[in-house]
Amino acid sequence: MQDVALLGVLFAALAIGFGLGVRHRAGKRLTRPAPKAPALSKEYFVGLNYLLNEQPDEAINTFINALDVNSDTVETHIALGKLFRARGEADKAVSIHQNLLARPALSVATNDHIQLELAQDFIALGVHDRAQRLLKTLLNHTTDDTYRLSAKRLLLDLLDREREWQEALETVGPILKQQPALRCPAAHWLCELAVEEIGESSRALARKHLKKALQMDENCVRATLLYAELEMENGHYQRAIDWLERIPHQDIAHIPTMLTALKRAYERLENLAGFEAHLYRLLGQAPYTSVIVALGELVHRRDGVDSAIERTGEWLREAPSLGGLDYLIDLYLESERLNGKTSPDTRLLLLKHHTGALLEGRPRQRCRHCGFTSDHLVWQCPSCRRWGTIKPITGIEGE
């Protein structure tokens, strides 16, 4: 399809060029003899022959040679470069766009447009340093707001790839009002700086970055989790719980993410009753499997396995899940053992085998934008490179 689109653009360009030539000759007919047939037609039919013989690359090259660079065809050449880049042939796109820049008498707007396209060519080739230099040069001289914004977006993407968080934050500041969607990645860049500071034992600077992250994006779950961890490091477990209580309001899908830290804070306070009450509140907000299992374990520890079976069964009737069923089978098997049964019920073992097989290798996290799955939480999707879109998988097959 890309070859067809590319050739379509070429045919259109050639037709326009041919039409302009006819009109020009008509205007000159009274002052000089009619010119010979245009040389373009020969190359046109050579290219058409290549196309009919299923040689699209040769056809494209022939049509490019037939299409002279002038003020009427610059946009066509830019489009050709884009299509080459889309085909995975960024080196050819670079050649076309650099050839255009070498032409004299380009308008300022056209020059900016070509530089922006060339920067994208370099990015596609992985030559990030050249792309950065080109974009910074463009930002320094362009007066066109559209090109300036596009150049900044490309530069931010490069700085993100190169993990240059501080420069990315300095670049994004002036355009946050125009591009509020950039607040989320900016908050994560601040979290990245905070993680670096924590690794260097600079807790005060880490807190400063986390505070800015929550000012940038009040729903940044990552910043809240990091704040809670810092509080627990200092022995302030109740403060950590207070931070963790914000997460269901920031993003309810991250309740499973916070449970490990929440349990640790309550255990350090030796307040399992408080943990149980907190879990019941979470169960009312979202009956996730991880919350049900955590509650089941507390009931099991306090009241025994039979009570845990009864309560877990009730919760699972309201919110059935494969993981919850697997946990419930474990409780039944333990109940049989405690009641003196020498060999477990084969039916339970068969069910346990099936649930285990279904759960084995099942991903626990999924990107809500592109569908990428992972066994563990990462804050930037490796596939679509969006920040904060990977969240726990919940529901019947979740957790």
Q: Where are the alpha helices (DSSP H) in 269-338?
A: 272-285, 289-303, 305-318, 322-338
Contact 123, 158 (CB under 8 A): yes
Which residues of the chain form CATH 2.20.28?
A: 362-399
Of 94, 101, 42, 44, which is closest to residue 69 (Cα–Cα)? 101
pLDDT score, position 321: 93
Taking only the tens place, the pLDDT of each residue in 316-351 is 999 999 999 999 999 999 999 888 887 888 889 999
pLDDT > 50? residue 39: no
* Residue with tokens 């879109």, as numbered in its chain: 389
Q: How far apart are CA 43 and CA 59, in angstroms?
A: 10
pLDDT > 90? residue 191: yes
Q: Which of 27-36, 99-108, 153-162 has the lowest mean pLDDT?
A: 27-36
Q: How far apart are CA 127 and CA 124, in angstroms?
A: 8
Q: How far apart are CA 14 and CA 224, in angstroms?
A: 59
CA distances for 8 relative to 13, 67, 75, 93, angstroms: 9, 14, 14, 17
Tell me the longest C-alpha to C-alpha distance in the chain: 114
Contact 331, 303 (CB under 8 A): no
Q: How far apart are CA 152 and CA 197, in angstroms?
A: 27
Which 3 state secondary structure label does DSSP give 179? coil
Amino acid at 238: Q
Give me the CATH topology for the region 2-167: 1.25.40
Sorting pLDDT into bands at 50, 70 and 90, what band is 47? low
Q: How far apart are CA 24 and CA 128, in angstroms?
A: 45
- Average pLDDT, rounded, for the chain: 86
Q: Is the dihedral of CA 391, 392, 395, 397 positive or negative?
A: positive
User: By percentage, how much of the chain surpasses pLDDT 90?
Assistant: 63
Q: Which of 287-296, 310-319, 337-346 has the lowest mean pLDDT?
A: 337-346
pLDDT > 90? residue 284: yes
pLDDT score, position 389: 97
Of 371, 381, 377, 372, which is closest to residue 391 (Cα–Cα)? 377
Instruction: Kindly tell me the burial class for residue 228, based on how many C-beta atoms sit within 10 Å of its own C-beta (0-12, 13-18, 19 or more).
Output: buried
* Residue with tokens 């990015």, as numbered in its chain: 123
Q: Which CATH architecture has domain 362-399?
A: Single Sheet (2.20)
User: By percentage, how much of the chain surpasses pLDDT 70?
Assistant: 82
Record the pTM.
0.80
Which residues of the chain form CATH 1.25.40.10?
A: 2-167
